[in-house]
Amino acid sequence: MSEKLCVFPGSFDPVTIGHLDLIERASRLYDEVVVAVLHNPAKQGRFTVEKRMELLAKACAHVPNVSFDHFEGLLVDYMNARNARVVLRGLRTARDFETECQMAQFNLQMAPGVETLFLAAKPEHTHISSSAVREIGMFGGDVSPYVPASIAQEVARLLKPQPKR
Ligand code: ADP
């Protein structure tokens, strides 16, 4: 079991500046941060898992100790497979607290050695979510305040509706 590794699981559809802030902060606490994109076959994302990982890698190019992976199924199974025991999650609001706490409790029950650690979102990031970015971009709004600068143009282009011919 490695205590020096933390796994940051999520959809990252797409990565936002809120996610990136958590990754940067975790990278100063742990030797290695694994960002693990959840592939949920029942819920098709806006971006493919491959594209989400590509965007994450571009956004995190300045963070030396981060790597990217994807998984399907239960997080606890992934944690066991990676021999990891720290799950990192972010808390924005009281609503996050409720759902995140519940999820952490299930994981604790299913895998008693796996602990979830929470980092509070920066106050200026609490309203930012991937779903808001998708919605703003879909209607041609400016997504650049919410996604890392290195991927802002690409995200805007990919979300922009194609003109009807
Ligand atoms: P999921 O679908 O698993 O919630 P997300 O990609 O939406 O995946 O979020 C992954 C993690 O990042 C969650 O713990 C979430 O609370 C956290 N997070 C999302 N947006 C922000 C933000 N703006 N600031 C800090 N943490 C965030």
> Tens of pLDDT along the chain (165 residues)?
456 999 999 999 999 999 999 999 999 999 999 999 999 888 889 999 999 999 999 999 999 999 999 999 999 999 999 999 999 999 999 999 999 999 999 999 999 999 999 999 999 999 999 999 999 999 999 999 999 999 999 999 999 987 766
Nearest C-alpha neighbor of 38 from the set 54, 46, 23, 49: 49
- Calculate how far, in angstroms, residue 90's C-alpha sits from the geometric centre of ligand 1: 6
- Calculate how far, in angstroms, residue 150's C-alpha sits from the geometric centre of ligand 1: 19
The DSSP secondary structure of 54-87, one letter per residue, reads HHHHHHTTT-TTEEEEEE-S-HHHHHHHHTEEEE
Residue nearest to atom 8 of ligand 1 (CA): 10
Tell whether the torsion through CA atoms of 134, 40, 43 and 128 is positive or negative. Answer: negative
Q: Which residues have a catalytic role annotated?
A: 19, 43, 92, 130
- Calculate how far, in angstroms, residue 165's C-alpha sits from the geometric centre of ligand 1: 37
C-alpha–C-alpha distance, residues 74 and 38, integer Å: 9
C-alpha–C-alpha distance, residues 157 and 63, integer Å: 25
Quote the pLDDT of residue 119: 98
Sheet of 115-120, strand order: 66-71, 32-38, 2-10, 84-91, 115-120
Atom of ligand 1 nearest to the CA of 128: 23
List beta partners, residue 88.
117
Chain-wide mean pLDDT for the chain?
Answer: 95
Residues having CB within 6 Å of any atom of ligand 1: 10-12, 16, 18-19, 22, 89-90, 92, 96, 121, 125, 128-130
Quote the pLDDT of residue 3: 62
